[in-house]
Structure 1
Amino acid sequence: MTEPVVSRSHSGVLAPIGGLFLFAVATGYLMSLLPLSLPTLGMSGTMAAWLASALYGGLLLGALGVEPLIRWMGHRRALLLSLLVLSLTVAVMAALHRPELWLAMRLLAGMATAGVFVVVESWLLLVEDERQRAARLGIYMAALYGGNALGQLMINVLGFEGAWPMLAVMALMLLAALPPLLAGGSAPMPLTEEQSGSSCSPLCVKVPALLGCLISGLVLGPLYGLMPVYLHQQVMVSELTGVMMALLILGGMAVQPLGSWLSARFSKTLLLSLFSLAGAMAVVVLILASSPLEFGLGMLLLGAAAFVLYPIAISQACEGATSGQIVRITQLMLLSYSLGSVSGPLLAQGGQRLNMGLIQYLGVIFLATALYMLAAALRRTSAVVEPPAGME
């Protein structure tokens, strides 16, 4: 009988989480560094949206092929390879300032990032206990968003001009490889063909879960790719770009325990609706803000709403799943997220033709999601309450 694909010890959590945290610090800094550095390097500011879409295009491509890589190399080696490729892309971008080369490197970086996400998520979720999965997912999100927030603050420390910022990002990527490198015995058992064959198809994943990840991409893609530029253009907070981005991500980090607690007790579809409504409220706060303090509160609420959608959706998708299905489910969820992330920055930028800026775009996405998820939750409740015809 095939041995279950589970982590062999609690210490197995430290290696992926340690690597993920340092990776998150590096990417958090890089997500603000790239759009802000474009003018100083003689590139058009419109490249910001294309760089973001190239990254998420690579994420989409990587999500399609990461499962065979994990089956071939194992979780630990696949994570190491992904982090080394990421550091290589940063090194090339630091050395050569050519738009077409940068787009190619961001595409490659997206593929490597897909490897990091699927490897770490499946590494942590490969346990049979549903409550342990939820706890590990909460740790994962806290490390990811906490690292991103810390990385955003590095804009105020190292700035975005010169060679040092890129070198710092590359060093962090290389340091992120150390925890999994030094923890060779704590990775999950390798995937077998039998376990891969038991993986589910998109048809077995709940529609609200798939849509939740899609919407998460439609929101987070523009937030990562375009929000730093938007903040830099706002006179009220132009000198506080790094702080505001950190508040955005800290809001997402702070809401994770609440999101985990609520998702274990209430309908996840309803929670997706309520947090989307909170996102729409955050947009109203940002539009009406008349001081940096009010704007900062709006960013906190926006982050809380935007960053909780993905963990709720993936938790919903993993309900009742076996260990043999986890890698495929995380792959499908990342694929759905990537589709939204590729489209989001371009849709947000295209909305300018309709006199709709980034904030207004986010408001439309959040409000439409809130209404759809509320209707879906009500339909499900009605289907549960009302007995089938002839069974009264």
Structure 2
Amino acid sequence: MDNLLVSTSSQRISVPVIALTFYAVASGYLMSLIPLMLSHYQLETSLASWLASVFYAGLLIGAMFVDPVVNRLGHRNAFIAFLMVLLISIVTLPLFAHSTVWLVSRFIAGIAVAGVFVVVESWLLHGDEAGRAKRLGIYMAALYGGSAIGQLGISYLGINGAVPFLTISALLLLASVVLIFGKSTQPLSQQATSLSLRQITKLNHAAIMGCIVSGLTLGAIYGLMPVELNNRGLDHSNMGALLALVILGGMAVQPSVPWLSKYLGRTLLMALFCLVGSAAAILPFLNASLTILAISLFVLGMATFALYPIAINLGCDKLDASYIVSATQVMLFSYSVGSVLGPVIADWFFESGQGLLGYLFVIQMATCLYMLLSSIKTKRQWVAGE
């Protein structure tokens, strides 16, 4: 750990990673808080899926337009600006308990979060290609670790009153303070160049599909997992721990992703994780015990949260550094498309009685088959070229 802290690479990325961690704790708490607090503000519980979808719609729109903001302000200032917009959108929620206001606020929050992701991911993807997987691993560990801690806020801080919003606001302000006063290098804004439509179509298709599926699964998990657990009759004390297990699973798998990529290849690795995820999703249907549910959610977190870093690393493979911000936008846009559709499609599974886990099983099994076929196709093209 000491060597990690003193290395040049770690010093360069420590400020955005620490700021991201504070953001992740706040975001993890908020994402699980919103579906559970609707009744407290006399709002329909059916609004939960729409709030999740409109948030990811904002993420999608933001992914299309944040590139000029990053280029104009620079990574550090853009990060601070997006955090402040997010903070304003969150403070609005308890002040105006109306469905329209909440939908607009979550849409704006989605745009701000898109900016946060593009800034941090492009910041960490710059530099030597050999270290990208490790830097992305640190990024994902900070994101998921922070989110896991945030989930525990439901158990320890509750879902009612002003305390949740004050806590979330304080964490976002702390993230901004780290960015303002922390010392760190950042990519030069003039280095960024936009990809043309033709270049975008030539990006790795499996990488884009991996981002879409990551959105389909994670968008539904973030938006509807509290509803799924609530439907299973779990109280809030158990719910916070179970939600944290999903995130901890995603965090636990990150160190192994760079190592596994060397031996299996990224496309085949995504197929493997989807197969594991589909198996985890079916377990609670076979055994309804709380222990099996806990194991299932941990493994499901490992499988679903592994997809995005693998996909984005594959999409940026061998790209010139000047295209990194633009490529990150494309990957985030793909993720956002899935995130918008995920909660709405998952809602159909709730209506049919299969719930969120049934939805995740179908999505991940279908993706496993796609990635296997894509891996075979890539292997044949490589052999033919050889």
TM-score normalised according to structure 1 size? 0.93
Could you tell me how far apart the structure 1 residues matched to 2:284 and 2:380 are? 36
SS in 2 for 1:226: helix
Check whether the contact 1:236–1:291 (CA below 8 A) recurs between aligned residues. Answer: no
Could you tell me how far apart the structure 2 residues matched to 1:14 and 1:62 are? 25
Could you tell me how far apart the structure 1 residues matched to 2:293 and 2:180 are? 42
| Per-residue deviation, residues 168-225 of structure 1 (Å, max 9, x unmatched) | 1111111111111113652222235xx4156783213100000000000000001000
What is residue 158 of structure 1 aligned with on the other side? 157
1:242-281 paired onto structure 2 within 5 Å: 242-281=240-279
Could you tell me how far apart the structure 2 residues matched to 1:135 and 1:257 are? 8
SS in 1 for 2:263: coil
1:8-47 paired onto structure 2 within 5 Å: 10-47=10-47
What is residue 104 of structure 1 aligned with on the other side? 104
Output the amino acid matched with 1:23.
Y
Output the amino acid matched with 2:31.
M
SS in 1 for 2:319: coil
Q: Percent identity?
A: 44
- Alignment partner of 1:134 is 2:133: yes
Could you tell me how far apart the structure 2 residues matched to 1:244 and 1:299 are? 7
Could you tell me how far apart the structure 2 residues matched to 1:138 and 1:185 are? 19
What is residue 4 of structure 1 aligned with on the other side? none
Could you tell me how far apart the structure 2 residues matched to 1:266 and 1:179 are? 38
What is residue 282 of structure 2 aligned with on the other side? 284
SS in 2 for 1:308: helix
| Per-residue deviation, residues 87-112 of structure 1 (Å, max 9, x unmatched) | 11111112111110010000000000
Could you tell me how far apart the structure 1 residues matched to 2:234 and 2:53 are? 28
TM-score normalised according to structure 2 size? 0.94
1:1-392 paired onto structure 2 within 5 Å: 10-127=10-127, 129-183=128-182, 186-192=185-191, 195-197=192-194, 201-235=199-233, 239-386=237-384
Query: How many pairs align?
Result: 378
Check whether the contact 2:123–2:187 (CA below 8 A) recurs between aligned residues. Answer: yes
Could you tell me how far apart the structure 2 residues matched to 1:220 and 1:198 are? 27
Give how far 1:322 is off.
Answer: 1.6
Give how far 1:262 is off.
Answer: 1.0
Output the amino acid matched with 1:20.
L
Output the amino acid matched with 1:26.
A
Could you tell me how far apart the structure 1 residues matched to 2:206 and 2:138 are? 23
| Per-residue deviation, residues 104-149 of structure 1 (Å, max 9, x unmatched) | 000000000000000001111110x212111110000000000000
Could you tell me how far apart the structure 1 residues matched to 2:231 and 2:10 are? 46
SS in 1 for 2:189: coil
Check whether the contact 1:75–1:188 (CA below 8 A) recurs between aligned residues. Answer: yes
| Cα pair distance change 1:372/1:84, threshold 3 Å | same
Q: Write 1 or 2 for the structure with the bigger share of helix.
A: 2
Check whether the contact 2:53–2:341 (CA below 8 A) recurs between aligned residues. Answer: yes
SS in 2 for 1:196: coil
What is residue 3 of structure 1 aligned with on the other side? none
Could you tell me how far apart the structure 2 residues matched to 1:185 and 1:285 are? 45
Output the amino acid matched with 2:33.
L
Could you tell me how far apart the structure 2 residues matched to 1:185 and 1:382 are? 44
| Cα pair distance change 1:237/1:162, threshold 3 Å | closer
Unaligned runs of 5+ in 2: 1-7
Could you tell me how far apart the structure 2 residues matched to 1:199 and 1:139 are? 30
Check whether the contact 1:64–1:331 (CA below 8 A) recurs between aligned residues. Answer: yes
| Per-residue deviation, residues 323-346 of structure 1 (Å, max 9, x unmatched) | 101101110000000000000000
Give every structure 1 segment of 4 or more consecutive aligned residues whose post-TM-superposition deviation is greater than 4 Å. Answer: 197-200, 236-239
| Per-residue deviation, residues 294-320 of structure 1 (Å, max 9, x unmatched) | 111000100000000000000101111
| Cα pair distance change 1:345/1:45, threshold 3 Å | same
The Cα RMSD (Å) is: 1.7
